[in-house]
Structure 1
Amino acid sequence: MTAVEEDLATSWAAWHAEREETLRAPHGWLSLTALYWLDGADDAARTYPELPGTWRAVDGGVEISASAADGVSVDGAPVDGTTRVEPVDGKPGVLVAVGERRVEVIRREEHLALRIRDPQAPTRQRFAGVPAFPVDAEWIVTGRFEAWDAPRRIDVDTVVDGLGFHPTAVGTVRFTLGGEEQELVALGDGEPGEELKLHFRDGTSGESTYGGGRVLRTAPPAADGSVSIDLNRTINLPCAFTASATCPLPPAGNTVTVPVAAGEKTPV
């Protein structure tokens, strides 16, 4: 192994270890145990398995009714009566504490749901790491970012039938891989100097890697538009680990034309 190869392997190993520690977080993606959709606006107050109190979707938010003895709290404040939370579409939800668990109240389009995060979840307890392809410098290429005149809100499907997602696309990234020209829509917030997110499928999708595609975050593009693309750092979406996530699918056309045998594999 050359010094360059050793440095690459060492850097990747540190990055991968940090990635796995993030997944192991007590209330991270591996802690999800259930996803309960609240049936439409102005729904009746309902109870849910293992959750105290009642939960009701109304006017774009969720009303939580509980007594002080139930041990439910929002932002550290105990719920004793009725409290309302208002999650934002497509963003991380509002976390409601119930003992050591967290009930994440989410909004996806007009739909509201409760997602249970439990540190004792079997997926977290038995987690032994994320399998990945061997690190190889051949999967590091230089691309070119072409920003659009203005960021655009695009529509993509999700792993939940009938549910859409609406990320912000900021331009395209072009690069050569396996002797073939590739072009992917890049996601971001439209802020100067931000990293880009490339969500794509390739020839390994549904085989050795997750069928819903994988994601790569790049460094911010240079002033000339050049951007380093290290496919060794391509990661799975949360839905590769749990059925209780609502992951988006890649933007239309975001398919790399050659198998990308780099980055994370399907979890086992």
Structure 2
Amino acid sequence: MPETPVTDAGFLADWRRWRAAREAALRDPHGFLAVTGLHWLTPEPTRYPDAPGSWWADEEHGVLVELTDGEELRLAGRRRTGRLVVGRLEAGPWRAAFGAALLEVAVRGGQFLLRPRHPDHPARTGYAGTPTHRPDPAWVRPGRFLPFAEPRAVTVPAVLPGLEHVYQAPGQVEFELGGARHRLTAFNGAGAGLTVLFTDTTSGASGHRPGRVLALPAPADDGRLTVDLNRATNPPCAYTEFATCPLPPPENRLPVAVAAGERPPG
């Protein structure tokens, strides 16, 4: 798609506000740039260099941690010592603070993992920003949400070999691009919004190997929504080796070059 001048001041101002919020999220003290390790928990209590305590998982309790003398964690501002039963995480990830750092315990592919996040990690302190393509209203496309009769559980591979993710897909998003109509499977997003994982013909050449992520607003009652490819972002695994990013489903591979949104981080 040829570049066109950005003439809409409102469009550009909105994009700049979105871009500032995105960069602030990337620089968050406990964001993905702060992750120092990805530790898969086993039945054997194990200590890790970037977290206090010994960590393990068993069938009866789920995840447990044993803190020794002088070690502590803070949960909801309360000091905790000794043995803690983290549990099976039915309600989602578990997080605790120690010093300036944050510990995250989560489930991926039926396995428990520990992921410490340290604000002073060089990947975060040395982060210089993410380059982007020039914002262009031509990449803002009218779209339509096509709901499935019932949400579907969709299994996709992860960036880590052997790992899979299962997400609920409420339907597909349809829009025109490059003279053709495309339908991409959408997963549930923030609030009533949608999330689309996609690749395009720049994915190999430009370094977007895992694809990119596009957050979409909740569709209108008649299914209409706006597909703004200027807001396509890199997944966390573009910034850290300690991410477990899902890969786009096969039907979400666009046969065109999407020179919009974020470029690979430097």
Shift of 1:16: 0.3
Q: Within the alignment, does 1:196 sit opposite 2:194 as a pair?
A: yes
Question: Counterpart of 1:61?
Answer: 62
The one-letter code matched in structure 2 to 1:206 is: G
Shift of 1:80: 2.2
Shift of 1:85: 0.9
The structure 2 residue matched to 1:263, chosen from 247, 261, 264, is: 261
The one-letter code matched in structure 1 to 2:252 is: N
Shift of 1:150: 1.3
Question: Counterpart of 1:219?
Answer: 217
Counterpart-to-counterpart distance in 2, 1:182 and 1:249: 18
Contact 2:202 2:257 in 1 (8 A): yes
Shift of 1:115: 0.6
Shift of 1:2: 8.0
Label 1:3 to 1:121 Cα distance change in 2 as closer, same or farther (>3 A). Answer: closer
Counterpart-to-counterpart distance in 1, 2:6 and 2:175: 26
1:1-268 pair list within 5 angstroms: 4-39=7-42, 43-59=43-59, 61-67=62-68, 69-86=70-87, 88=89, 93-188=93-188, 194-268=192-266
What is the TM-score with the length of structure 1 in the denominator? 0.91
Shift of 1:79: 2.7
Counterpart-to-counterpart distance in 2, 1:249 and 1:48: 28
Contact 2:72 2:81 in 1 (8 A): no
Counterpart-to-counterpart distance in 1, 2:262 and 2:88: 31
Counterpart-to-counterpart distance in 2, 1:50 and 1:141: 45
Secondary structure at the residue paired with 1:235? coil
Greater alpha carbon shift after TM alignment, 157-166 vs 47-56: 47-56
Shift of 1:29: 1.1
Label 1:87 to 1:124 Cα distance change in 2 as closer, same or farther (>3 A). Answer: farther
1:84-105 CA distance string (max 9 Å, x none): 113547x862112222111211
Greater alpha carbon shift after TM alignment, 202-211 vs 247-256: 202-211
Secondary structure at the residue paired with 1:223? coil
Shift of 1:196: 1.4
1:187-241 CA distance string (max 9 Å, x none): 116x9x8211111100111322421111111121122212110000011111110
Gaps of 5+ in 2: none
Contact 1:65 1:79 in 2 (8 A): no
Shift of 1:48: 1.2
Gaps of 5+ in 1: none
The one-letter code matched in structure 2 to 1:26 is: P
Counterpart-to-counterpart distance in 1, 2:105 and 2:208: 26
Counterpart-to-counterpart distance in 2, 1:163 and 1:78: 35
Label 1:2 to 1:163 Cα distance change in 2 as closer, same or farther (>3 A). Answer: closer
Shift of 1:78: 2.5
Counterpart-to-counterpart distance in 2, 1:247 and 1:174: 24
How many pairs were matched up? 262
1:162-200 CA distance string (max 9 Å, x none): 1110111011111110102211001116x9x82111111
Counterpart-to-counterpart distance in 2, 1:244 and 1:16: 24
Counterpart-to-counterpart distance in 2, 1:223 and 1:75: 39
